[in-house]
């Protein structure tokens, strides 16, 4: 075999690996979409619009990290938007009530607050044995209702928040916004944690087959609680960063954002039936959705179409996952039928 | 103690969830009357019934869907879509009866899409209807944008806010009474109803007993779509207003009513009577709180809490029962072991 043939074969293998993995597909899709839109409107890849894109995707991508853990376990967390909303306003009031409080302290307190609210979900789901959908649908409204009652028409404005804190949402480091750096670092932590560590593998095991997980000696209740605590803490952090990004926060902050997060996660290849997917794919899913929605803006599609597109993409992703799982099952059956 | 325990358990078995709900409704009525002198007036009751008619309509097919162990989260979005579509068609000067029929058909088609994805592709209903929750609400925005249509003809607006002549019953509420009766007959007195319980109890067993699961589920989701569209039409006439965001979040109240009504999450259990009573209970609680000038955001907290409590409470009762039963059995084993050792 000549050298060229070998490298060609290697290239082909590499290509087929890219085409076969969800992450590879997503990167390709994002690239194609970007090229298409850029050819129609070159301003699409101007530094400013790239920065906007990164900032827009960051908070969703952050929440996607927590949601991935949840969906991997065949659960769902609808309450993240309400947790992020309440902690965003809470962070703002901390700056107002305690002038001179360090930004880091506010971020940590916001994470703690998120952890606490996530703890409510965790207790109800793991020990109250209420399905996650019902629990988090309930707490979605309870937390948001509490937020409305507490905020009572007030607002936190950018003037109430110190510039050093707002800088998290506006300034860049090596060309990438600090907000995006935070998400990237957490992405690496989550990717390694889910791949290499026992806790991470247990999340996958629970989602693949809950009964088998119990028989394998996994404390399912405790892992469920861990997941919802993580999701809550991440939502708390997202709330603080929401304040840093937008400066102005009222009772409606982050309302409805859970739909984008769940759609991103599922489009990113985390199967809604649990046990399958990666956090990198999920974040790429968020990026794809974000690129797609800015494409719509650049193509002057009315903003009213956004939500319908998001719903359609979620349905497509679920259907695609089910189809792939079905084909995989068929292939396994053929493979073993000769034995 | 050994005497009283079985008797309390027998009592617990005899007291159905419906009886408990009926007692709670009675307590709520008495409480409301004592708390507020405006509560037990004809006018207030007419308001009370009118205010939950949309949610009550959507809760009927939803409870049957939950009995078969599925869920439909998209009901409120189908309501919004139907309301927006009615507005658009009216703007295009379409005859109102025709517009209403089109809205109902579109609702049924939306439900059919849900059913098709769930039945044909075996996708989880939870995921599908989260997707269509966004999709149908998106359609509503595409249809009407941020406009509002309000110039409905007076005779239809009158249907929305008027009462049945010589009674305090709001006209739209008649729709609910008729549909509740139909659902009650279907669920409790036909083979279809028994089949629905069978599907919820054990889907595989139901399939082997010759129940056409796909067809029944499809029918339920279509019914859910058509009735949600009907609820959208009622909402539109009641407020004389079509907006794309009409009824946002109503799915929470509908689901809360279904679970509070004694339909279990695991499927296979629940009655129409229970759901009607729980709707009445939620309606009364909301009404009493509104009369007491409690802000609408607090109502959201109450509804969310009711949803969680309606499942938490039976779970706690069941686990306590289980613990008591285990302890009793352990005592029995100890006694037997003791007896055999003595022998």
For all residues of chain B together, what is the average pLDDT?
A: 91
Q: Is the pLDDT of residue B11 over 60?
A: no
Closest chain A CA to residue B142: A304
Which range among A284-293, B3-12, B312-321 shows the weakest confidence by mean pLDDT? B3-12
What is residue B1's three-state secondary structure? coil
How many domains is chain B partitioned into structurally?
A: 1
| Per-window interface: A 66-85 vs B, CB < 8 A | 76
Measured in whole angstroms, the distance separating CA B247 from the mean position of its chain's CA atoms is 15
Using CB atoms within 10 Å of the CB of residue B177, give its burial: 0 to 12 exposed, 13 to 18 middle, 19+ buried. middle
Mean pLDDT of B31-35: 91
Using CB atoms within 10 Å of the CB of residue B47, give its burial: 0 to 12 exposed, 13 to 18 middle, 19+ buried. middle
Task: Give pLDDT tens digits for B253-270.
Answer: 999 999 999 898 888 889
Using CB atoms within 10 Å of the CB of residue A120, give its burial: 0 to 12 exposed, 13 to 18 middle, 19+ buried. buried
B301 in reach of chain A (CB within 8 A): yes
CA distance B90 to B84: 10
Residues of B in contact with A310 (CB under 8 A): 134, 138
Residues of B in contact with A322 (CB under 8 A): 121-123
Closest chain A CA to residue B116: A319
**Which band of pLDDT confidence, cut at 50, 70 and 90, is reported for residue B36?**
confident
Chain B interface mutation, best of A315, A316, A324, highest count of B Cβ atoms under 10 Å? A315
Indicate the residue of A141, A312, A322 with minimum beta-carbon distance to B304.
Answer: A141
Task: Give pLDDT tens digits for B173-198.
Answer: 999 999 999 999 999 999 999 999 99
The answer to whether B94 and B241 have CB atoms below 8 angstroms apart is no
Task: Give pLDDT tens digits for B276-325.
Answer: 999 999 999 999 998 988 888 888 899 899 999 988 988 888 888 888 99
For all residues of chain A together, what is the average pLDDT?
A: 90
Would the CA dihedral through A146, B316, B257, B282 be positive or negative?
A: negative
Closest chain B CA to residue A266: B127
Residue B102 lies in a domain: yes
Centre a 10 Å sphere on the Cβ of residue B315 and count the other Cβ atoms it contains.
16
User: Which two structure tokens, joined as six digits, stand for B29?
Assistant: 């009525």
Residue B256 makes CB contacts below 8 A (sequence gap 6+) with A138, B282, B303, B304, B306, B307, B310
Token match 């509560």: residue? B39
Q: What is the pLDDT of residue B3?
A: 44
Indicate the residue of B124, B141, B299 with minimum beta-carbon distance to A273.
Answer: B124
CA distance B51 to A102: 49
The backbone torsions φ and ψ at residue A177, rounded to the nearest 5 degrees and listed phi first, read -60, 145
Residue B40 lies in a domain: no
The answer to whether A204 and A194 have CB atoms below 8 angstroms apart is yes
For residue A259, give the H/E element and its range. helix A257-267
Residue B91 lies in a domain: yes
- Exposure pattern of A76-115 as b/e (b: 16+ CB <10 Å)? bbbbbbbbbbbbbbbbbebbeeeeebebeebbebbbebbb
The answer to whether B124 and A272 have CB atoms below 8 angstroms apart is yes
Residue B87 lies in a domain: yes
Residues of B in contact with A128 (CB under 8 A): 308, 311-312, 315-316
The answer to whether B32 and B294 have CB atoms below 8 angstroms apart is no
CB contact under 8 A, A318 and B127: yes
The answer to whether B239 and B51 have CB atoms below 8 angstroms apart is no
Residue A244 makes CB contacts below 8 A (sequence gap 6+) with A161, A165, A166, A167, A168, A169, A179
- A2 vs chain B: nearest CA distance in angstroms? 48
Centre a 10 Å sphere on the Cβ of residue B118 and count the other Cβ atoms it contains.
25
Residue B113 lies in a domain: yes
Complete DSSP assignment for A284-308: HHHHHHHHHHHHHHHTT--TTHHHH
3-state helix, strand, coil in chain A (%, to 5): 80, 0, 20
CA distance B175 to A243: 47
**Which band of pLDDT confidence, cut at 50, 70 and 90, is reported for residue B9?**
low
Q: What is the pLDDT of residue B281?
A: 94
More confident residue, A324 or A94: A94
CA distance A154 to A142: 19
CA distance B243 to A223: 43
Which range among A18-32, A233-247, B68-82 shows the weakest confidence by mean pLDDT? A18-32
Q: What is the pLDDT of residue A52?
A: 87
How big is the A-B interface in CB pairs under 8 Å? 138
Chain B interface mutation, best of A134, A151, A266, A301, highest count of B Cβ atoms under 10 Å? A134
CA distance B49 to B170: 7
Residue A299 makes CB contacts below 8 A (sequence gap 6+) with A37, A40, A41
Q: How many helices and strands in chain B, by DSSP H and E? A: 15, 0
Residue A188 makes CB contacts below 8 A (sequence gap 6+) with none
Closest chain B CA to residue A305: B142
Please report, for residues A130, A266, A278, the alpha-carbon distance to residue A274 in angstroms, rounded to integers and kept in the order given.
Answer: 18, 10, 11
- Read off the pTM: 0.88
Q: What is the pLDDT of residue A339?
A: 53
Q: What is the pLDDT of residue B268?
A: 86
CB contact under 8 A, B308 and A149: no
Q: What is the pLDDT of residue A331?
A: 84
Centre a 10 Å sphere on the Cβ of residue A277 and count the other Cβ atoms it contains.
24
Task: Give pLDDT tens digits for B309-318.
Answer: 988 988 888 8
Among residues A122, A127, A128, A113, the alpha carbon closest in space to that of A82 is found at: A113
| Per-window interface: B 189-218 vs A, CB < 8 A | none
Task: Give pLDDT tens digits for B108-118.
Answer: 999 999 999 99
Q: What is the pLDDT of residue B193?
A: 95
**Class of the domain covering A54-299+306-314:** mainly alpha
CA distance A256 to A178: 25
What is residue B163's three-state secondary structure? strand
Residue B73 makes CB contacts below 8 A (sequence gap 6+) with B126, B129, B130, B133, B251, B255
Measured in whole angstroms, the distance separating CA B296 from the mean position of its chain's CA atoms is 20
Return left, alpha or beta for A21; rule: phi > 0 is left, psi -120 to 50 is alpha, else beta: beta
CB contact under 8 A, A302 and B145: yes
Residues of A in contact with B301 (CB under 8 A): 141-142, 145-146, 149
Q: What is the pLDDT of residue B63?
A: 96
For residue A173, give the H/E element and its range. strand A172-173
CB contact under 8 A, B308 and A135: yes
Residue B190 makes CB contacts below 8 A (sequence gap 6+) with none
Mean pLDDT of B142-168: 88
A272 in reach of chain B (CB within 8 A): yes
CA distance A311 to B81: 14
Q: Is the pLDDT of residue B159 over 90?
A: no
What is residue B294's three-state secondary structure? coil
Task: Give pLDDT tens digits for A78-109.
Answer: 999 999 999 999 999 999 999 889 999 999 99
């Amino acid at each position: 075999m000549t050298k060229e043939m070998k490298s060609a074969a290697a290239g082909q293998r590499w290509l087929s690996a890219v085409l076969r993995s969800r992450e590879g597909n997503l990167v390709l899709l994002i690239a194609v979409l970007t090229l298409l839109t850029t050819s129609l409107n070159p301003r699409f890849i101007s530094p400013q619009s790239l920065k906007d894109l990164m900032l827009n995707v960051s908070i969703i991508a952050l929440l996607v990290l927590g949601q991935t853990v949840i969906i991997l376990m065949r659960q769902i967390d609808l309450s993240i938007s309400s947790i992020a909303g309440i902690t965003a306003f809470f962070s703002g009031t901390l700056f107002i009530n305690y002038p001179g409080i360090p930004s880091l302290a506010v971020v940590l307190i916001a994470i703690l607050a998120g952890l606490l609210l996530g703890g409510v979900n965790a207790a109800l789901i793991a020990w109250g044995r209420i399905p996650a959908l019902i629990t988090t649908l309930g707490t979605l409204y309870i937390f948001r209702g509490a937020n409305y009652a507490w905020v009572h028409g007030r607002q936190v404005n950018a003037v109430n928040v110190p510039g050093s804190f707002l800088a998290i949402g506006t300034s860049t480091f090596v060309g990438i916004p600090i907000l995006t750096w935070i998400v990237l670092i957490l992405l690496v932590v989550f990717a390694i944690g889910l791949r290499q560590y026992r806790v991470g593998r247990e999340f996958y095991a629970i989602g693949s087959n809950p009964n088998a997980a119990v028989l394998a000696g996994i404390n399912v209740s405790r892992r469920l609680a861990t997941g919802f605590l993580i999701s809550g803490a991440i939502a708390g952090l997202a709330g603080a960063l929401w304040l840093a990004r937008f400066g102005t926060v009222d009772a409606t902050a982050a309302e409805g954002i859970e739909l984008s997060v769940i759609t991103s996660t599922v489009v990113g290849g985390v199967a809604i039936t649990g046990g399958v997917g990666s956090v990198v794919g999920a974040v790429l899913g968020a990026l794809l959705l974000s690129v797609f929605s800015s494409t719509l803006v650049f193509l002057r599609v009315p903003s009213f179409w956004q939500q319908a597109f998001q719903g359609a993409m979620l349905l497509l992703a679920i259907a695609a996952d089910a189809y792939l799982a079905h084909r995989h099952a068929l292939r396994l059956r053929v493979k073993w039928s000769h034995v | 103690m050994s005497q009283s325990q079985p008797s309390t358990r027998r009592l617990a078995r005899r007291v159905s969830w419906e009886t408990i709900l009926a007692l709670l409704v009675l307590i709520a009525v008495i409480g409301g009357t004592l708390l507020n002198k405006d509560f037990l007036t004809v006018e207030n009751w007419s308001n009370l019934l009118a205010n939950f008619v949309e949610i009550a309509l959507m809760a009927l097919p939803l409870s049957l869907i939950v009995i078969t162990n599925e869920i439909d989260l998209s009901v409120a979005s189908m309501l919004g879509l139907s309301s927006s579509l009615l507005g658009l068609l009216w703007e295009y000067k379409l005859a109102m009866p025709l517009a209403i029929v089109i809205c109902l058909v579109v609702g049924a088609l939306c439900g059919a899409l849900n059913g098709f994805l769930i039945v044909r592709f075996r996708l989880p209903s939870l995921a599908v209807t989260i997707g269509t929750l966004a999709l149908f609400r998106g359609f509503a925005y595409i249809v009407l944008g941020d406009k509002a249509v309000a110039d409905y003809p007076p005779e239809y607006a009158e249907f929305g806010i008027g009462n049945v002549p010589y009674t305090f019953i709001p006209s739209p509420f008649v729709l609910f009474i008729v549909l509740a009766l139909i659902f009650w007959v279907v669920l409790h007195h036909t083979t279809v109803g028994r089949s629905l319980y069978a599907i919820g109890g054990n889907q595989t067993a139901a399939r082997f007993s010759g129940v056409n699961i796909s067809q029944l589920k499809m029918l339920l989701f279509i019914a859910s779509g058509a009735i949600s569209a009907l609820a959208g039409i009622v909402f539109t006439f009641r407020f004389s207003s079509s907006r794309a965001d009409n009824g946002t979040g109503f799915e929470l109240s509908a689901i809360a009513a279904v679970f509070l009504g004694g339909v279990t999450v695991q499927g296979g259990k629940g009655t129409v009577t229970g759901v009607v009573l729980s709707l009445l209970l939620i309606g009364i609680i909301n009404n009493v709180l509104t009369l007491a000038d409690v802000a609408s955001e607090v109502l959201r907290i109450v509804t969310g809490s009711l949803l969680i409590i309606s499942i938490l409470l039976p779970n706690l009762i069941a686990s306590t029962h289980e613990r008591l039963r285990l302890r009793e059995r352990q005592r029995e084993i100890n006694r037997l072991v003791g007896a055999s050792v003595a022998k």
